[in-house]
Structure 1
Amino acid sequence: MNTTLHTECIEVCNQLLRGEISAVETYGQAIEKFAGEPEVGTLRRVQDEHRESVAKLKANILEMGGVPESNSGAWGTFAKGVEATAKLFGEASAVAALRQGEEFGIGLYEAAIENDDVMPECKSLIRMQLLPKLRTHLVTLSALEG
């Protein structure tokens, strides 16, 4: 593939990748907060699904000839905010913050689908594999907020 033709798509996918890396970090912090609680298993499962999305996005970027991001960058600030919120306000606030992160991620994926610079193959990956997971995570987190 010609990298110059896919620069915009690679950039969008790297933005999504940074978000997924941040989600893995954020869930790690939430898991620490919930240590010993029954919710830990659910949070680990969601974290693992974000790890799977990281792997898929990295592979996709490499396939386009790009260089995948290796850290969350500015997204890490969001993860730190979740950790601070959890420490100050407890578990319910941590789950609410996780839910907000998932909602923000859904918005980014939906914007990528609408972006004309994003290749059809990438849009398919988002529609069929990545976005449905985030929607499921919202339901899971809502149940935890119960």
Structure 2
Amino acid sequence: MHTIDTLNKFLKDELSATETYQQVQDKLAEDAALGESKDLRPIYEDHKEAVSSLQTLISQLGGTPCEDSGAWGTWAQIVQGGANLLGKEVALKSLQSGEKSGAEAYEEALQETELPLEIRSLIETQLLPAQQAHIRALDRLLATETD
């Protein structure tokens, strides 16, 4: 079913985001010179909540939620691993790029006229607003990095 596939794609993206934020938080925590990881914690928690919401909806629709982030998650971790080596600003820009990509995916889904109401509602009320808030939060963190 197309709906389950779409939701599982979103779920993979959200799982990738949780993995990537966890990796960056760990890196920032171990390298105090890079700064605080607490600024990223609310974004990480939002992505965990999105994972939970998507898993629940997929199950309610009779599908099986995917359990890992797949190839995209592996790629995101490689990119983020390189960014972590290059410093906090590059790491934050990498996270921001991922957030923008996620927001675009949600906006594209909303363009589909046959998108079921429960998915449209989840995207409009939770997933997309969270992505947009994450982009703004990362903008603020990047602004303080370059001052």
User: C-alpha distance in 2, partners of 1:67/1:112?
Assistant: 20
1:81 aligns with 2:60: no
Normalised TM-score (structure 1)? 0.90
1:38 deviates by 5.0
What is the aligned partner in structure 2 of residue 127 from structure 1?
124
Higher relative contact order (Cα pairs below 8 Å, separated by 6+ residues) = 1
User: C-alpha distance in 2, partners of 1:80/1:43?
Assistant: 19
Give SS of 2:58's match. Answer: helix
1:19 aligns with 2:17: no
Number of equivalences? 139
1:65-117: CA deviations, max 9, x gaps?
A: 00001000012111221112221x11100000000000000011111111244
What is the aligned partner in structure 1 of residue 141 from structure 2?
144
CA contact (8 A) 1:33 1:91 kept: no
What is the aligned partner in structure 2 of residue 45 from structure 1?
42
For the aligned residue pairs, the C-alpha RMSD in angstroms reads 1.2
Letter matched to residue 16 of structure 1: F
1:33 deviates by 2.1
User: C-alpha distance in 2, partners of 1:47/1:62?
Assistant: 23
User: C-alpha distance in 1, partners of 2:55/2:68?
Assistant: 12
5+ residue gaps in structure 2?
A: none
Percent identity over the alignment is: 35
Normalised TM-score (structure 2)? 0.90
Give SS of 2:38's match. Answer: helix
Deviates further, 99-108 or 29-38: 29-38
5+ residue gaps in structure 1?
A: 1-6
Segments ≥4 residues shifted beyond 6 Å: none
Give SS of 2:128's match. Answer: helix
What is the aligned partner in structure 1 of residue 91 from structure 2?
94
User: C-alpha distance in 2, partners of 1:145/1:69?
Assistant: 33
CA contact (8 A) 1:86 1:93 kept: yes
